[in-house]
Structure 1
Amino acid sequence: MNNIDWLVLVLTLGGIVGFGMWKGRASKQNIEGFLLADRQLPWYHVTLSVMATQASAITFLSAPGQAYTDGMRFVQFYFGLPLAMIVLSVTFIPMFKKLNVYTAYEFLENRFDLKTRVLTSLLFLIPRALSTGVTIAAPSIILSTILGWDLYWTNIMTGSVVTVYCMYGGSKTISYTQMQQMFVVLIGMFLAGYMVVHLLPEQIGFVDTLKVAGKMGKLNVIDWKFDLNNRYNVWSGLIGGFFLQLSYFGTDQSQVGRYLSGESVGESRLGLLMNGMLKIPMQFLILLVGALVFVFYQFHQPPLFFNKTELAKVENTTQYQNITAKHQQVFEQKKIAVNQLFDALKQDNTAQIELSKTQVLAADKASSELRTEVKDLIKQKSPKADINDTNYIFLSFVTKYLPVGMVGLLIAVILLASMGSMASAFSSLTSCTIIDVYKRLIHPEDTDQHYLNVSRLVTLGWGIFCIIVAQFTANIGSLIEAVNILGSWFYGTILGVFLVAFYFKNIKGGSIFWAALVAECIVIYTWWIDLTAFLWLNLIGCVLVIIFASLFNLFHKKSKVA
């Protein structure tokens, strides 16, 4: 990066964080102001804050790479989201607002008992703290590789900045910061998509680019085939995704805290429903950028491997030089075939389209095989090397091909997305720790000022913990998948507890407590033996909790009668 990029980066980050802290200073200096922004935020704050919480740096780093390597089928992951937003707006929001709770888990003590509340809080705290560490590490791993930044200090820098402004202004600062973050992020991604097309040969426009991407299998948005082992199809998205999103937005405090800060039931509902409408188009745009980058690399020779640090270990070997020579030949053949495909599409020549498509796909397959050879070579030289370069594809393109200024803006986008997600996570970890553990079990009676001071210390503690987790996060493949897999271990169980609380009035605390423990063990074992794709774990966990709770409750009743 040159000086202009650094200036754009610093001004963008500093301006947004400074604005958020300035607006957050008006928040009341009490626990409600710190944790829930005085419950006074309008619907558009709720929408943008909810979107910023879900759309971490992992989304903007990993999703374009996911589309580059696997096409756009990942968008089906979000198909259950609008349905989940409707259910939450009808059931969860009115209940939480009526009870005037700080966290989702307070409701569970009223409905069941203290041990169920604490268990569910722990089931939230464990994955949220770990996934927040991944969220911190996501930009750091890639930025340190692409730009040469030190990994450990990048983790510390991003984690510390967010920790400081969360400690300073609490939820209102987070909300105002996230609102500005989302504007910059969306503008940045639109500009990135525009620049990809702009950098293509002059005769190729946006529609032409889409046609080429479609013929090469990168616009595979819809897959109707029902397959439990297929991670991304309509059915896994609508069913498994519905249960994941319902649990995430309905029981994960990082999201619940965002819409509990709405000034009324109506504002919170509208905020969530707008998120349901906007999230899929936003994710579609981000994945589309990845598909466009794929087409770009049909006319510009791509790296054989996008992680420069790992590639450097084998660049000077004879084997790699031989693979590079083959790669050059394959690329030239593919480029000719792509141009022929483009001409055939222009002329609407069906026979030539099919012939050129076959040639392009054959060359692309040969290129993929050469990439596999390089990965195998890297693995031979360094058995512990990370051979999944999905997370490096988009930023590698940004730093090599985008003009001065835009590189700084896109890196700011990645860091801002990371900070927005981290901020909500820190806030939720603090809320849950203070309200569900400290205030309930350790120090139940004290002043608002005391709880406010402890909240700031707890935020600092969680910030340090998550930065430590980030330092150990490496070699985990696609980061966007890693976070969603981690969530799927726990979200189904938590959702099952809440659904029983809402709809099974006869089931008591002891039954649901043991049902949640047993169901969680089965879910983890199901994942361990790789029985099904991870999205289905959300449905499995939820259904098992309901079944076991019903059985335990029935057994308890019979034993009482006996």
Structure 2
Amino acid sequence: KESRLGLLFNAAVKVPMQFFILLLGALVFMFYQFEKPPAYFNQPAYQRAMASGYAPQLEALQTQSDDVFTQKRAAIRALSSASSSERDQATTKLRELDAQAHELRNRTKAVLGQAGADPKSKESDYVFITFILQQMPHGIVGLLIAVILCATMSATSAILNALGSTTAIDFYRPLIRPHATDHHYVVAAKALTAAWGLMAIGVASFASLVENLIEAGNILGSVFYGSILGLFLAGFFIRRVSGSPVFFAALLAQMLVFVLFATTNIGYLWYNFIGCAAVLILAPVLQQTIFRGTEVPAGV
């Protein structure tokens, strides 16, 4: 019972965690609408360009950016207090100022490119880091970095161990060496854990090709988490449904999510709901049709 509750909690907490991460991003975005952001969030690249003889151009762009930011902040406050008749005009002005701010940021990036300061790195990945370094006390920054490292190491260790053990027990033992000794399976599990670790390193090596790493992680999670959550909910709460209908319902739900991901442009958080709902709907339908004669385990 405890293991089931643990698995259910692990599945159910991932979707709210995604919402929390997105909420945190929205709060940081709103913060920089009223507090002046740096000219370029990738500060190491910016400082290298400043030291390479491009300081006059960057300082001029910084001055223009500060002026646009001041006007934009005033426009946001004006929009928040504008009447219904003035709202369209205030919105248009705000959009114009936002376009100017993006243009100045692109020009800053172009100057960094001329300076050879690695402008290909994604500036969006530096927004939260800049917020932490510039807005939080030093002690909190150190504590936060320690928490991030501890959580990363703990999660990575658990995931790699689970992948290695699952691969050894569910695939290696029944398909390759069904009659080996326990010592052999332990060694195989360790080797498979190392193999999964190398695969993870390979995936991480290509992470720099992604436009926004945090958003990419959320999108990838949204594609799969809904079906996983549906599996747990169907298995624990839907009575009179055996394992096979739930399994094939999850496969169909995952295929549906893949099709929607490839053919539509809906918000990626909807994939969580769609995948989960599809499993919960399809599992009873399959039980009453294709798997009608399948015996439901006792105690369900």
Contact 2:227 2:276 in 1 (8 A): yes
Instruction: Output the amino acid matched with 1:304.
Output: A
- The yes-or-no answer on 1:249 pairing with 2:10 is yes
2:278 maps to which of 544, 552, 558: 544
Contact map agreement 1:500 1:546 (CA 8 A) in 2: yes
2:201 aligned residue: 467
- Judged with a 3 Å threshold, the aligned counterparts in structure 2 of structure 1 residues 327 and 529 are, in CA distance, closer, same or farther, namely same
Amino acid in the other structure paired with 1:530: T
RMSD: 5.0
Gaps of 5+ in 1: 1-92, 98-102, 105-245, 256-275, 342-350
Q: 1:251 to 1:432 in 2, by over 3 A?
A: farther
Shift of 1:476: 2.7
- For residues 434 and 486 of structure 1, the distance between their equivalents in structure 2, rounded to whole angstroms, comes to 25
> Hey, what's the Cα distance between the residues in 2 that align with 1:498 and 1:450?
32
Q: Cα–Cα, structure 1 residues 540 and 283, in superposed 2: closer, same or farther, change >3 Å?
A: closer
CA distance in 1 between counterparts of 2:28 and 2:169 reads: 42
Q: Is the 8 A contact 1:523 1:541 kept in 2?
A: yes
Q: Is 2:225 the partner of 1:495?
A: no
Q: Distance in 1 between matches of 2:12 and 2:170?
A: 14
- Count of matched residue positions in the alignment of Structure 1 and Structure 2: 275
Question: In 2, Cα distance between the equivalents of 1:489 and 1:329?
Answer: 42
Mapped partners of 2:26, 2:291: distance in 1: 55
**Residue among 216, 219, 235 paired with 1:482:** 216
TM-score by length of 2: 0.65
Tell me how far apart the structure 1 counterparts of residues 274 and 23 of structure 2 sit (CA, whole Å).
Answer: 31
Give yes or no for the alignment of 1:372 onto 2:133.
no
Q: 1:303 aligns with which of 19, 38, 61?
A: 38
In structure 1, the residue matched to 2:66 is 328
Task: List runs of 5+ in structure 2 lacking aligned partners.
Answer: 295-300
Distance 1:421 1:558, change over 3 A: closer
Q: Is the Cα contact below 8 Å between 1:375 and 1:387 reproduced in 2?
A: no
After TM superposition, the score normalised by the length of structure 1 is 0.38
Give 1:481 shift: 2.8
Show the counterpart of 1:533. 267
Amino acid at match of 1:450: H
Q: Which amino acid aligns with 1:460?
A: A
Q: What is the DSSP-based 3-state SS (H/G/I as helix, E as strand, rest coil) of the residue aligned with 2:207?
A: coil
Deviation at 1:470, TM superposition (A): 0.5
**CA displacement at 1:373 relative to structure 2:** 1.0
After TM superposition, give the deviation of residue 523 of structure 1 in Å.
0.3
Distance 1:488 1:289, change over 3 A: closer
Structure exhibiting the larger radius of gyration computed from Cα positions: 2
CA distance in 2, matches of 1:512, 1:410: 41
- CA 1:95/1:466 → structure 2, altered by over 3 Å: closer, same or farther? closer
Distance in structure 2 (CA, Å) of the matches to 1:413 and 1:497 = 31
Q: Is the 8 A contact 1:500 1:507 kept in 2?
A: no
Q: Deviations over 1:451-508 (max 9, x none)?
A: 3333322222221111111111124344333222212212222333344434243446
1:496–1:305 CA distance, 2 compared to 1 (3 A): same
**How far apart, CA to CA, are the structure 1 residues paired with 2:291 and 2:147?**
56
Contact 2:226 2:273 in 1 (8 A): yes
Residues 287 and 471 of structure 1: CA distance in aligned 2, closer, same or farther (over 3 Å): closer
Separation in 2 of the partners of 1:394 and 1:524? 30
